[in-house]
């Protein structure tokens, strides 16, 4: 027997997960928050929610975590763009996670799943990109592959097991509450503020406030059509260089330098050196040759009319989201 007011958020100590937990508590839901490491509970301080241990690679842990739950927000996943063994550490973990959590949800009697996919699972060949364009044909990145293949698998399994499933596809999430280690998107702003982006990579990001994405997840649970996908991003993307210009304008005291333009072969050479250093140190490189190949010059502009019309999704624009996120980081020097 499920409790209509009881929800589970997996990956609840992550950036989206934690901000979603906060929103759901505010909206009066009884929230169960699952984390892989039960000792990782600092971000739940003073929050009225039940924190439980569950790992996406362990189905039994999710059967237990999902008991009595009506709506499951499947946020938890391996979210990283670099690993020593990306197939094993990213792709296989995420694919197993989808199989385990959806099977566990069926066993526990969950009625609806909001599956957090990504704009990585969209086809960028026609702009502005929309949900009906289909899936990303670029197979060079294991995280992107896990999001493309994972979303297809999630729809297939939910259909077979008779659970309603709605997919949401967030852009580069910033803003809201943040904790160390910062997520990848917030990390880019940190690099800008710390003057660690020396050159113009011509990489764009579709900035979106994480609080708007959390709201979009709730709207998807309430209004989303089962079997459908919804983009939770902004219409227009911004280059990292334009983002740096915005930071420079708002914080002149930091004396930020705008990244300079260099030929593409120089970008590849620098990225190659960073990858080599990463293999030795085990720490993720700031940029890889694959990042340059896949993302330099790629426009991430979206048609979000489906999310606006069907869900009532209405995000603040990218510039405002960046300004608020920069202010948040500047006020909390410990995060920098």
10-residue stretch averages of pLDDT, the chain, 336 residues long: 88 97 98 93 93 96 97 92 88 96 97 97 94 95 95 98 98 95 93 92 96 98 98 97 96 93 92 90 89 93 98 97 97 90
Beta strands in the chain (DSSP E): 3-9, 30-35, 50-53, 69-74, 112-116, 164-170, 172-174, 199-200, 204-205, 207-209, 229-232, 238-239, 260-261
The two structure tokens encoding residue 227: 């079997």
Dist. CA 130–CA 105, nearest whole Å: 29
Dist. CA 106–CA 248, nearest whole Å: 50
Residue 23's pLDDT is 98
Q: Which of 177, 66, 171, 169 has the alpha carbon at shortest distance from 121?
A: 169
Domains of the chain: 3-175+208-234+302-309 (3.40.50.720)
3-state DSSP assignment of residue 53: strand
Residue 234's pLDDT is 98
Dist. CA 316–CA 321, nearest whole Å: 6
The two structure tokens encoding residue 100: 């385990």
Residues 271, 253 contacting (CB under 8 angstroms): no
Residue 66's pLDDT is 98
The two structure tokens encoding residue 228: 């459908």
């Amino acid at each position: 027997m499920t409790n209509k007011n009881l929800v589970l958020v997996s990956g609840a100590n992550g950036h989206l997960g934690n901000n979603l937990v906060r929103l759901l508590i505010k909206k009066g839901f009884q929230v169960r928050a699952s984390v892989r490491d039960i000792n990782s509970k600092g971000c739940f301080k003073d929050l009225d929610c039940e924190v439980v241990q569950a790992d996406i690679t362990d189905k039994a842990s999710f059967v237990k975590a999902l008991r009595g739950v009506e709506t499951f927000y499947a946020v938890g996943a391996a979210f990283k763009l670099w690993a020593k063994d990306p197939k094993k550490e990213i792709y296989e973990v995420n694919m197993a996670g989808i199989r385990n959590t959806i099977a566990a949800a069926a066993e526990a009697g969950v009625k609806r799943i909001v599956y957090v996919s990504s704009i990585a699972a969209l086809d960028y060949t026609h702009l502005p990109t929309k949900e009906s364009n289909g899936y990303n044909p670029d197979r060079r990145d294991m995280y992107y592959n896990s999001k493309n293949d994972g979303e297809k698998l999630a729809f297939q399994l939910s259909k077979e097991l008779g659970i309603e499933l709605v997919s949401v596809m967030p852009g580069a999430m910033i803003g809201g509450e943040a904790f160390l280690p910062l997520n990848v998107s917030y990390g880019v702003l940190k690099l800008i503020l710390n003057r660690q982006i020396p050159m113009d990579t011509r990489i764009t990001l579709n900035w979106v406030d994480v609080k708007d994405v959390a709201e979009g997840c709730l709207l998807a649970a309430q209004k989303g059509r089962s079997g459908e996908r919804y983009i939770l991003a902004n219409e227009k993307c911004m280059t990292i260089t334009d983002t740096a210009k915005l930071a420079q304008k708002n914080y002149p005291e930091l004396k930020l330098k705008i990244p300079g333009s260099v030929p593409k072969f120089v970008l590849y050479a620098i990225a190659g050196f960073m990858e080599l250093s990463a293999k030795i140190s085990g720490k993720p490189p700031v940029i890889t040759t694959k990042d340059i190949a896949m993302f330099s010059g790629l426009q991430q502009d979206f048609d979000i009319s489906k999310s606006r019309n069907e869900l009532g999704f209405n995000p603040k624009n990218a510039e405002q989201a960046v300004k608020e996120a920069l202010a948040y980081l500047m006020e909390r020097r410990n995060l920098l």
